[in-house]
């Protein structure tokens, strides 16, 4: 692969950075405290055509791939405005519908995703399933030409800001293995029988979390994405882009935090010299810089691999792991560099710490990534 970026990708990065910079960390901090969506920067990037940069041109998208979407995700985060819903709406829902959706589904949903006019969030997590997708209990059963969905999902990001939710549901059981047969459904958020309750979380981020309840929620037959029972394959087509863009988000967070820390270390003087003079400050920041650059390289490799149709599971998982670790370390060191000011609302670092810490757990936690690498990369016995 070519690690260089062509002029078009560099121009994309520069333009996204220029659009995002006027919003910056102060805007993100204010929205985080208020738990309000970052609608203005989303609209500004959408107007420039960047929210759907990875979606097909015939539906208003940019015709690019995950390389381009990762660049948008990273640069907006590096300007101080990490957009979590890019991982969900553009990376997962957009990719799945573009790949597996019917012609009618593509026509109904992709233009709005491309323009940023609406979002489609993703619902797979359940209280009793965790990382074990085969234990999903939300069911979809046929009722004439319709489907009835019954069950519960939780930790669903941005449901209050979405037009629809892409739901993973059980539609049967595989007789040979006993595992669930899964299917995907695009469910409008105003569907009767679907209710949402806010899920309080301590992390101070703009995107609110919700528990969803499906009480025989009725959807038409055209809500089914692709073939019945093909949901497991469809989900994993979306999960690699989610992990790659999640890694890009983390790289952007790390870059922003490092920039703030370095600026403070250059200008904050104690005993008549900048605190960046001292190795106790400079070495941890240098280490964070190295870890961030390594994570960025792995993220680029994962995106390139996915876009070229190559097996992307390993690089996507490694990129997510490396970038989440780098982001959390960078933000933590930025807080430490600022001393007491690191906890001040004025400097806007604590909301980034909350998001970075969350991304170490989700959308896949570091322990499951280690399990994956141990089993699939090293050939060790499965441990779970």
Q: What confidence category does residue 30 fall into, taking pLDDT thresholds of 50, 70 and 90?
A: very high
Q: Which residues contact 191 (CB under 8 A, 6 or more apart)?
A: 217, 218, 219
pLDDT of residue 174: 80
pTM here is 0.96
DSSP code of residue 128: T
Q: Which two structure tokens, joined as six digits, stand for 211?
A: 């528990």
Q: Give all domains of the chain, ordered by start, each with its CATH number.
A: 7-119 (1.10.540.10), 121-227 (2.40.110.10), 232-378 (1.20.140.10)
pLDDT of residue 129: 80
Q: Which two structure tokens, joined as six digits, stand for 22?
A: 């006027």
Peptide bond into 363 cis (omega under 30): yes
pLDDT surpasses 90 at 99:
yes
Residues 352, 17, 324, 246: is their CA dihedral positive or negative?
positive
Percentages of the chain per state (helix, strand, coil), in multiples of 5: 55, 15, 30
Q: What confidence category does residue 1 fall into, taking pLDDT thresholds of 50, 70 and 90?
A: low
Q: Which two structure tokens, joined as six digits, stand for 187?
A: 């469910």
Return the ∠ at Cα 263 (arms to 258 and 266), rounded to 5°.
120
Q: Which two structure tokens, joined as six digits, stand for 227?
A: 């073939």
pLDDT of residue 19: 98
Burial 345-384 (b: 16+ CB within 10 A, else e): eebbbbbbbbbbbbbbeebbbeeebebbbeeeeeeeeeee
pLDDT of residue 169: 97
Rg (CA), the chain: 21
pLDDT of residue 3: 65
197 — alpha (psi -120 to 50), left (phi > 0) or beta? beta
Q: Which two structure tokens, joined as six digits, stand for 31?
A: 């929205």
Give the mean model confidence (pLDDT) for residues 332-347. 97
pLDDT of residue 179: 82
Give the mean model confidence (pLDDT) for residues 270-287. 96
Share of the chain above pLDDT 70, in %: 99
Give the mean model confidence (pLDDT) for residues 191-216. 96
CB contact at 8 A, 256 and 80: yes
pLDDT surpasses 90 at 112:
yes
Q: Whose structure tokens read 């900048």?
A: 274
Closest by Cα among 69, 41, 52 to 116: 52
Tens-digit pLDDT profile for residues 247-257: 999 999 999 99
pLDDT of residue 226: 96
DSSP H or E stretch at residue 79:
none
How many Cβ atoms sit within 10 Å of the Cβ of residue 26?
13
Tens-digit pLDDT profile for residues 63-89: 999 999 999 999 999 999 999 999 999
- Between CA 340 and CA 349 the distance in angstroms is 12
Give the lowest-confidence range in 105-114, 126-135, 337-346, 354-363.
126-135
Share of the chain above pLDDT 90, in %: 92
DSSP code of residue 281: H
């Amino acid at each position: 692969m070519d690690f260089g970026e062509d002029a078009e990708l560099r121009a994309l990065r520069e333009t996204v950075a220029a659009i995002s910079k006027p919003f910056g960390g102060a805007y993100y901090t204010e929205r985080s405290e208020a738990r309000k969506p970052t609608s203005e920067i989303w609209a500004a990037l959408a107007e420039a055509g960047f929210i759907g940069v990875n979606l097909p041109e015939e539906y208003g998208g940019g015709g690019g791939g995950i390389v381009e979407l990762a660049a948008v995700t990273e640069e907006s985060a590096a300007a101080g405005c990490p957009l979590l819903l890019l991982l969900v709406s553009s990376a997962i829902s957009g990719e799945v519908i573009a790949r597996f959706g019917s012609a009618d589904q593509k026509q109904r949903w992709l233009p709005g995703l491309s323009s940023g006019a609406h979002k489609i969030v993703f619902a797979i997590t359940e209280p009793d399933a965790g990382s074990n997708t085969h234990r999903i209990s939300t069911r979809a059963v046929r009722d004439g030409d319709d489907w009835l969905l019954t069950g519960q999902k939780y930790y669903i990001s941005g449901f209050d800001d979405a037009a629809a939710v892409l739901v993973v549901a059980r539609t049967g059981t595989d007789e040979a293995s006993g595992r669930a047969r899964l299917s995907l459904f695009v469910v409008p958020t105003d569907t009767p029988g679907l209710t949402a309750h806010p899920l309080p979380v301590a992390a101070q981020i703009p995107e609110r979390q919700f528990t969803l309840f499906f009480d025989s929620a009725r959807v038409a037959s055209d809500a089914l994405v692709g073939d019945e029972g093909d949901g497991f394959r469809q989900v994993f087509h979306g999960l690699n882009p989610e992990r790659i863009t999640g890694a890009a988000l983390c790289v952007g967070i790390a870059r922003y935090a490092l920039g703030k820390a370095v600026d403070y270390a250059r200008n904050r003087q104690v005993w008549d010299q900048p605190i960046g003079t001292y190795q106790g400050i400079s070495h941890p920041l240098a280490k964070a810089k190295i870890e961030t650059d390594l994570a960025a390289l792995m993220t680029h490799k994962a995106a390139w691999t996915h876009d070229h149709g190559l097996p992307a599971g390993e690089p996507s998982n490694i990129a997510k792991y490396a970038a989440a670790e780098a982001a959390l370390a960078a933000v933590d060191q930025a807080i430490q560099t600022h001393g007491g000011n690191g906890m001040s609302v004025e400097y806007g670092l604590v909301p980034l710490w909350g998001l970075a810490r969350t991304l170490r757990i989700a959308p896949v936690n570091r322990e499951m990534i280690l399990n994956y690498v141990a089993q699939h990369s090293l050939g060790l016995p499965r441990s779970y």
